[in-house]
Amino acid sequence: MESLREVRLRGGRLVVAWADGAETEHEARWMRDHCACDACLHPETRQRLVAAHALAGPALEPVEVARAAGDGDAGVEVRFADGHRARLPAARLRPAPIAPRARVPWLAADVDDAPSARWDALLHDDAALAAWLEAIARRGFAFVDGVPVAPAATRALLERVGPLRCTLFGDLWDFTADLAHGDTAYTTLAIGPHTDGTYFTDPPGLQAFHCLAFDGAGGESLLVDGLALDARLREELPEGRRLLAETPVPWRYLEPGVHLRAVAPVLDLSPGGTLRSLRVNDGDRAPFEPPSGWYAAWSRLLALAEDAAFVFRFRLRPGRVLLFDNHRVLHGRAAFEGHRRLCGAYLDRDVFESRLRVLGAAH
Amino acid sequence: MESLREVRLRGGRLVVAWADGAETEHEARWMRDHCACDACLHPETRQRLVAAHALAGPALEPVEVARAAGDGDAGVEVRFADGHRARLPAARLRPAPIAPRARVPWLAADVDDAPSARWDALLHDDAALAAWLEAIARRGFAFVDGVPVAPAATRALLERVGPLRCTLFGDLWDFTADLAHGDTAYTTLAIGPHTDGTYFTDPPGLQAFHCLAFDGAGGESLLVDGLALDARLREELPEGRRLLAETPVPWRYLEPGVHLRAVAPVLDLSPGGTLRSLRVNDGDRAPFEPPSGWYAAWSRLLALAEDAAFVFRFRLRPGRVLLFDNHRVLHGRAAFEGHRRLCGAYLDRDVFESRLRVLGAAH
């Protein structure tokens, strides 16, 4: 954090000169609104306790300023004509910019299925948990080994991140695709690269899989980095990428008693043009009238997602949990024969980010 | 639905003349993408089964078109050079526009606390449930009477809409603010009009309250229609309204182990300029640098929300459940003394809309 060099009042405003030569100015209402004293800001919940937006008259007249006693972040204390002494820590006067979390796009050749962590460590060691979640933030997925082969152990792991999302599929689902009883056509077919829950306003942020049993052939899993796909599109088909980012697409899910629907573009770009999240599921796309050129861009995106250069293939196996970023990484699986039991769950992106902040990788 | 008058092919496109004189044109890829035959569209899940975006050559050459046999929605059948017969129902060729759901803004004088429904009817009668949910869609809230005074009966009612949202507060919370044991300052103070969960990417869509016990004084509840507030702002302070709609605001929630954060404007307006949702909670607003004029607009919005003309006051009581639209309606309560036990829950907006669609108010 930068150090304060000098503080003064000028025309009813606070002027702060910083050690690096920068100068910042702060108006009276902003100071009252950002006062960090215990009467204005709840010391535990950090909730604002005073309606500073409605103050008037002497409450908005600063009369004296001094550097506050205390450590480097003590900042300044400003006395107002109504008698209030506003405390403004340096971090409020000049907040550190929130750097976007570093994400590393990958191709199939860049990755392996080396686990980042072991279950028992994640359950008891916050530093191990932080490192594992940071790996997911960086490359979009990570494995855990040594997981007891049971839904309860999977749940215990995921609840270390936060509460599971409850959807129409329940919170922790546990699904047996058993040829003896199941519907072959539905449960054992190949599923191409896609993201889940395109039809939600806020699609599931993270998804976990744990294969609890497999006795058969086929069924390899796959992951594709949407960040790498987007980088390629940007290079190869910028106009198509623009269409995918600007064209609202209806997505839907239908079953008896349920009709979910969301309208959102395939690519969600930040104002700066970086990919925030993507929705990819051709099956769940509802009827609509795409603009000219949209089909070509969509088709190219789906073709890239099937291109071996992008597709990381691996095998889910009992004792190993996969957690991945469903806003960024597409998943799928090859067709299989035999018996397979899979459990899994969703976590909100909000919950994941909260846990990362609390564990010290503040963002 | 409009009737087809004539269908023909022209330059590789389908041309449909409708009974009302309108004409629509459809390109080959769109037709393959929207084919409703059982091979292209799963008859139950309505998921697309064919990658029409990737078709080429004869698959995109229509050779013959005829009106399909069947009722008024049978539409047309188009034969392609690859032999496929694409079935295009009239509703796909010319979908009925989705009218926005009618919402009626209200002032305090316009409303009363008359219950819209009784618990036993909602539990067993889909038509009663539909009417109740439509009332919520229209005015943003509704009551139910005759609810057994227990969390389980409250849950049973809410699960008729869909799965409860699970947040850090659990799914159905049940909270006793008991002076004998609680923290008076925290649990019995007045709470001004606000919306919940401003710090979530997708704030809770619906919120339910059921007061299970009250022995004391004060504690009246209040609701304020954000749609009415927005209409007033639009009239009175259009530039301020624009600032509230365009300025991203950081919102946050902190407690040990949790640090939720979302950045979003106060007003979320549709491209057409109507209010989709709003976030109002001065306590949960995190430090930021608002643009000039923002404080004045925010202050005016909060002042209007406290204006008696907008504030509908009523009393929660055992046996009566309130469900309201937290994306539209602000809530709060007066200070109280005594013993009060409240249970409640959140439902996603997605879940609420899904239920309304399924019950026949298709949107």
Which residues of chain A make contact with B46, given a CB cutoff of 8 A?
252, 254
The DSSP bridge partners found for residue A221 are A314, A333
Give the minimum alpha-carbon distance from B95 to chain A in angstroms, rounded to a whole number: 9
Q: Are the C-beta atoms of A353 and B261 separated by less than 8 Å?
A: yes
Identify which of B165, B259, B358 has the shortest CB distance to residue A258: B358
C-alpha distances (whole Å) from A25 to each of A94, B133, B289 are: 10, 50, 11
Task: Kindly determine whether residue B48 and residue A168, on different chains, have CB atoms separated by under 8 Å.
Answer: no
d(CA A233, CA A310) in angstroms, rounded, equals: 13
Q: Do A258 and B167 touch (CB under 8 A)?
A: no
Rounded CA gap, B51 and B24, in Å? 24
CB-based contact A103:A89 (threshold 8 Å): no
Alpha carbon distance B23, A103 (integer Å): 49
Using an 8 Å Cβ cutoff, are B111 and B39 in contact? Answer: no
Cβ pair B54:A201 closer than 8 A:
no
Report the alpha-carbon distance of residue A256 to residue A242 in Å, rounded: 36
Best of B254, B307, B349 to disrupt the A interface (most A CBs within 10 Å) is: B254
Top residue of A87, A282, A302 to mutate, by most chain B CBs within 10 Å, is: A282
Give the pLDDT of residue B184: 37
A202 and chain B in contact, CB less than 8 A: yes
Q: How many CB atoms lie within 10 A of CB A83?
A: 9
Specify the pairing of strand A336-347 against strand A172-178: antiparallel
CA distance to partner chain A, nearest, from residue B236 (Å) = 18
Instruction: Break chain B into its structural domains and give their ranges.
Output: 4-93, 108-358
> Is A251 an interface residue toward B (CB < 8 Å)?
no
Token digits for A81? 């004509």
| 313-342 of B, contacting A, C-beta below 8 A | none
Q: Which residues pair with A13 in a beta bridge?
A: A10
Regions of chain B with pLDDT less than 50: 179-186, 362-363
A289 touching chain B per CB within 8 A: yes
Element (H, E) at B339: strand B336-347
- DSSP assigned state of A154: H
For residue A224, the SS3 value is strand
A-proximal residues of B, 208-247, CB under 8 Å: none
Q: CA B363, CA B354: separation in Å to the nearest integer?
A: 9
First vs last Cα of chain A: how many Å apart? Answer: 16
Token code pair at residue B88: 């295009």
Taking the Cβ of residue B187 and every Cβ of chain A, the question of whether any pair is shorter than 8 Å is answered with: no
Helix (H, G, I), strand (E, B) or coil at A252: strand
Please give the class, per CATH, of domain B108-358.
Answer: alpha beta
Q: Which two tokens stand for residue A29?
A: 């209402």
Task: From first to last of the 363 residues of chain A, give the pLDDT tens digit.
Answer: 678 899 999 999 999 999 999 999 999 999 999 999 999 998 888 888 899 989 999 999 999 999 988 776 789 999 999 999 999 999 999 988 877 788 999 999 999 877 779 999 999 999 999 999 999 999 999 999 999 999 999 999 999 999 999 998 889 998 876 544 434 334 678 889 999 999 999 999 999 999 999 998 998 999 999 999 999 999 999 999 999 999 999 999 998 899 999 999 999 999 999 999 999 999 999 999 999 999 999 999 999 999 999 999 999 999 999 999 999 999 999 988 888 899 999 999 999 999 999 998 544
Length of chain B: 363
Closest by Cβ to A34, choosing from B259, B282, B287: B287
B13 to chain A, any CB pair closer than 8 A? The answer is no
Taking a contact as any Cβ pair under 8 Å apart, which residues of chain A between 19 and 48 contact chain B? 29-30, 33-34, 42, 44-48
Which tokens go with A200? 């939600």
Burial profile A308-320: b = 16 or more Cβ within 10 angstroms, e = fewer:
eebbbeeebeebb
For the CA atoms of chain A, what is the radius of gyration? Answer: 26
Chain A, 54 to 93: residues with Cβ < 8 Å from chain B are 54, 92
Give how far A165 is from chain B: nearest CA, Å: 6
- Tallying the residues shown for chain A, one arrives at 363
**Using an 8 Å Cβ cutoff, are A117 and A144 in contact?**
yes
CB contacts, 8 Å: B349 with chain A: 201
A-B contacts at Cβ under 8 angstroms: 124
Rounded distance between C-alpha atoms, residue A86 and residue A38, angstroms: 10
Which whole-number Å values give the CA distances from B119 to B2, B125, B160, B212, in the listed order?
Answer: 41, 10, 11, 15
SS3 B56: coil
Task: State the Cα–Cα distance between residues A254 and A248, nearest whole angstrom.
Answer: 20
B344's enclosing H/E stretch is: strand B336-347
Residues of chain B contacting residue A352, judged by C-beta atoms under 8 Å apart: none
The rounded Cα A257 to chain-centroid distance in angstroms is 30
Q: For an interface test with A, which of B16, B260, B289, B326 has the most A Cβ atoms less than 10 Å from its Cβ?
A: B260
In this predicted structure, what is the pLDDT of residue B178? 56
Structure confidence at residue B241 (pLDDT): 98
Query: Candidates 3.30.2020.30, 3.30.230.70, 3.40.50.10680, 3.40.190.10; correct CATH number of A4-93?
Result: 3.30.2020.30
Q: Which residue of B has its CA nearest to A55?
A: B299
**Cβ–Cβ under 8 Å, residues B258 and A354:** yes
Type of residue numbered B67: R
- The Cα–Cα gap between B130 and B140 comes to 14
Residue A183, pLDDT score = 40
Q: Is there a contact between A49 and B201 if contact means CB atoms under 8 Å apart? A: no
